[in-house]
Each structure stands twice: as C-alpha cells, then as structure tokens.
Amino acid sequence: AVVLVTGANGYIPIWTVSSFLSRGYSVRGTVRSSAKGDHLLKYFSEYAKEGGKDGVKLELVVVVDITKEGAFDEAVKGVDGIAHMASPFHENVDDPEEFIRPAVQGTLTLLRSAQAHAGPQLKRVVITSSCAAVITIQPTARTFSELDWNEQSIDEVKAQGRAAAPMTKYRASKTLAEKAALEWFEERKGTLGWDVTWVNPPFVFGPAIHEIPGNKPENLNTSLKAWYDFVLDTKNPKGRDALALSNSWVDVRDLADAHVLALEKEAAGGERIIVTAGAYVWQEWLDIANAVAPSVYPGKEIPKGYPDILAGGPEYKVTYDTAKERRVLGVGYRTKEETVRDTLADFKVRGW
Ligand code: NDP
C-alpha cells in the first residue's frame, strides 16, 4: 500500500513517515521545496534508493503552495491512504490569516484533490488536528473530550485580530480547519469511496529526527522547543508559576503510530480521536530529567526548579477522556521516563 504524508519534513510527520515505512507502507511525502526533502531522502536512504527496501519505497513530491486549488492533484494519484499533517505551528505570525488560510484551504484543497484524482483504491484520509481544536482556556481544572470544540480561540481572533496571541491564532486555525473538513466530509460522505479521521494530540514531545536548521535548539519545532526551554535551558530557568503549569502530552513516536492505526482501524472512520499519554506538570519533567541525566547524559546540568510544587501530588488542570482512543485505536504509550531518557540521549548527541 502507498500512503501520502503531507509536510513530511516536519517534527511529527517525519516520525510518521518512519512508522509507515517500518510497517511496510510505501510513502509519498510532500515538501515545500526540494531542498526541504534532502534530509528525508538521506535519513531514509535505504527506502529512497531505486527499488526501495524490499519493495517499500519513499518518494517526495514538491508542493510549493498547499492553498492553491489542485495543489495535490498529482501527489494523491494512486494512494491508498493519506495523512494530512502540513499546517503552520510557530510563533512568528502577524495576520491570523497567515495560519488560518494554509490550515483551512490547505486541508480543503487536499480533500478536493483526493476526491477528483486519488482513484478508487483510496480508503481513508487521516487529518492531524490538535487538542488546540478541543480545549478552552479556563481557570478551573477540566477533563475535555471529543465532544468539546474550541470556539473560544475563534471568538478571540475575531475580536482581537492581529493583536491576538500567536497560540490563539494557531488554535483558531486548527479549529477552523477541522470544522471545514468535517463540513466538507459530512456533505459528501455518501458519495465518496473513502472516509476521514481526525487525530487530536495535545503537546507532542520526544526526540527529533527532522532537520533542525544549524542544529540549534532555538530552531526546534514549537512543542519540542517549549520542552527544551522549560526543562533544559539553564540560562533562562523558568520561575515557580511557569513550572506549576500543567497540560497533557504524547510522545511523538506514539503519535506517529497512532496515525498508522487511524488509517488501519475500520472503526476510526469519520471520528475525531484524542491521542494522549496523559497529563503533566512542568516540574515533573524537571524532576525526571534530574533523576535520569546522570545515566543518560552524565555531567549535564539541569535546572532543579521547585520540586515542592509536587509536594501534594501533581495538580493537573487539563486532562482528556481517552475512552474513544482506547476503544478504537489502542495506542501503546511511552512513559514520561522513557520519553525523557530518549530526548536527553538525542540532545547529548547534538551537543545541547
Ligand atoms: P513542524 O513545524 O515541525 O511541521 C509542520 C509542517 O507543516 C512542516 O512540513 C511545514 O513545512 C508545514 N507547513 C507549515 N506551514 C505551512 C504552510 N503555510 N504551507 C505548507 N506547509 C506548511 O510542526 P509539527 O510536526 O509539530 O506539526 C505537524 C502537525 O501536527 C501540524 O498539523 C500541527 O498543527 C499538528 N500538531 C502538533 C502538535 C505539537 O505539539 N507539535 C500538537 C498537535 C497538533 P516547512 O518546513 O516548509 O515550513
């Protein structure tokens, strides 16, 4: 089988490419320029060579502008499944449309290309949405589920425009993209020979295998950069209030596997599915990093933070109901310890 992975060079996408290849799927990846594909072709050189590895192949297609109608017409031809992952997630944004347009139009052009040009073998399109499309920011602790929609960020962006926080713009873009795709799909599902599944992860952490410009932590993708800044940046250690903040997370490799399961499991069709390993308080990551560093990254100085934050047990503000994920996908999750070990080992090799 052949799957298309859009934005293949990104942090989560490249791990997803890896999961598909190792399970015997040939992968066609899209990147915005051929230069952005060089690292992928090198990293997966066994699969990228003529004939692939035991017939399992990686090939890349350049899609310069995902918002252009027909952008994916060629890329979708003959694929059995699609993981649509390309979408902006960074802090360098002014006009909210810089996020909303590629998120929404990029998804709709992909769906329209799939409808018109993929072919009858196409079974499913898995769209990487986000818990950004689920969560609302509020003062009290709350457990969210697939029934929750983040209207709040859309309203804030409408009210504040450019003045809205970058992450508010991001969350609005993910909510609007998921809604637009859902509406598109609901209107046509009887006429399509395939269905759509949304995977909604919270913060994604764990080692990186994508290209990081200059091999510098400041050039990391947004979520892993946050982890680096909170857990390892001894020059700008975070204060007590920041380290008491909590959220939910998933290891990038487990999330990659979740995309494969989302494509394979019949019952995932038409569903949005929250994929998370559970909740964390930032101080927990510091404690674990301090505990494992001597064996994984000897001599590495790690901020101690404020361990008393956890004195009465961790207080989690944002948790998710994972019943649907367990029923439909059954992802196996790494523990915080495993993720910290592997991330520190990765950073050690990078000399960070
Ligand atoms: P990365 O920034 O590493 O990857 C994003 C990918 O999307 C890259 O291939 C990037 O291409 C592409 N992209 C960004 N903006 C555009 C655009 N305007 N037009 C076309 N392509 C674009 O981030 P992640 O791996 O973290 O994100 C992958 C997906 O996962 C996204 O959909 C994101 O919303 C989602 N997600 C991420 C979470 C996280 O914590 N990391 C949590 C929940 C969801 P290029 O390199 O050329 O810019």
The predicted-structure confidence for 107-143, as pLDDT tens digits, reads as follows 999 999 999 999 999 999 999 999 999 999 999 999 9
pLDDT digits (tens), the chain, 352 positions: 999 999 999 999 999 999 999 999 999 999 999 999 999 999 999 999 999 999 999 999 999 999 999 999 999 999 999 999 999 999 999 999 999 999 999 999 999 999 999 999 999 999 999 999 999 999 999 999 999 999 999 999 999 999 999 999 999 999 999 999 999 999 999 999 999 999 999 999 999 999 999 999 999 999 999 999 999 999 999 999 999 999 999 999 999 999 999 999 999 999 999 999 999 999 999 999 999 999 999 999 999 999 999 999 999 999 999 999 999 999 999 999 999 999 999 999 999 9
Q: Are strands 2-5 and 81-84 parallel, antiparallel or unpaired?
A: parallel
- Helices 336-350 and 222-231: crossing angle in degrees, nearest 10, is 90
pLDDT of residue 220: 98
- Answer whether residue 83 is part of any domain: no
* Residue whose pair of structure tokens reads 């919270």 in the numeric block: 202
pLDDT of residue 188: 97
The predicted-structure confidence for 16-66, as pLDDT tens digits, reads as follows 999 999 999 999 999 999 999 999 999 999 999 999 999 999 999 999 999
Which residue's CA is the nearest one to ligand 1's atom 43? Answer: 130
- Answer whether residue 40 is part of any domain: no
Pick the closest to residue 153 from 139, 144, 164 (CA basis).
164
Taking the CA of residue 128 as reference, the ligand 1 atom at the shortest distance is 32
pLDDT of residue 332: 97
Q: Could you tell me how many helices (H) and strands (E) the chain has, helices first?
A: 12, 12
- Answer whether residue 139 is part of any domain: no
Mutate to test the pocket of ligand 1, among 4, 89, 107 (most ligand atoms within 8 A of CB): 89
Q: How far is the CA of 344 from the centre of ligand 1 (A)?
A: 23
- Helices 151-160 and 166-188: crossing angle in degrees, nearest 10, is 120
pLDDT of residue 338: 98
- Answer whether residue 281 is part of any domain: yes
- Judge whether 186 and 110 are in contact, CB under 8 Å: no
- Answer whether residue 289 is part of any domain: yes
Mutate to test the pocket of ligand 1, among 87, 107, 339 (most ligand atoms within 8 A of CB): 87
Residue 58 falls in which region: left (phi positive, over 0), alpha (psi -120 to 50) or beta: beta
Both tokens assigned to 309: 């934050």
- Judge whether 321 and 274 are in contact, CB under 8 Å: yes
Mutate to test the pocket of ligand 1, among 4, 12, 107, 205 (most ligand atoms within 8 A of CB): 12
- Answer whether residue 348 is part of any domain: yes
Q: How far is the CA of 107 from the centre of ligand 1 (A)?
A: 13
- Answer whether residue 26 is part of any domain: no
- Environment class of 245 (CB within 10 Å of its CB; exposed 0-12, middle 13-18, buried 19+): middle
Q: How far is the CA of 312 from the centre of ligand 1 (A)?
A: 37
pLDDT of residue 156: 98
* Residue whose pair of structure tokens reads 């769906």 in the numeric block: 111
Q: How many Å apart are CA 153 and CA 130, to the nearest integer?
A: 13
- Answer whether residue 310 is part of any domain: yes
Q: Which residues line ligand 1 (CB under 6 A)?
A: 7, 9-13, 32, 36, 66, 85-89, 102, 106, 128, 130, 174, 201, 203-204, 221, 223
Q: How many Å apart are CA 307 and CA 54, to the nearest integer?
A: 50
DSSP string of 114-175?
A: IIIII-TT--EEEEE--GGGT----SS-EEE-TT---HHHHHHHHHHGGGS-HHHHHHHHHH
Q: How far is the CA of 306 from the centre of ligand 1 (A)?
A: 32
pLDDT of residue 50: 94
- Domain span at residue 230 reads 207-250+277-352
How many domains does the chain divide into? 1
DSSP string of 236-299?
A: S---HHHHT-EEEEEEHHHHHHHHHHHHH-GGGTT-EEE---EEEEHHHHHHHHHHHHHHHSTT
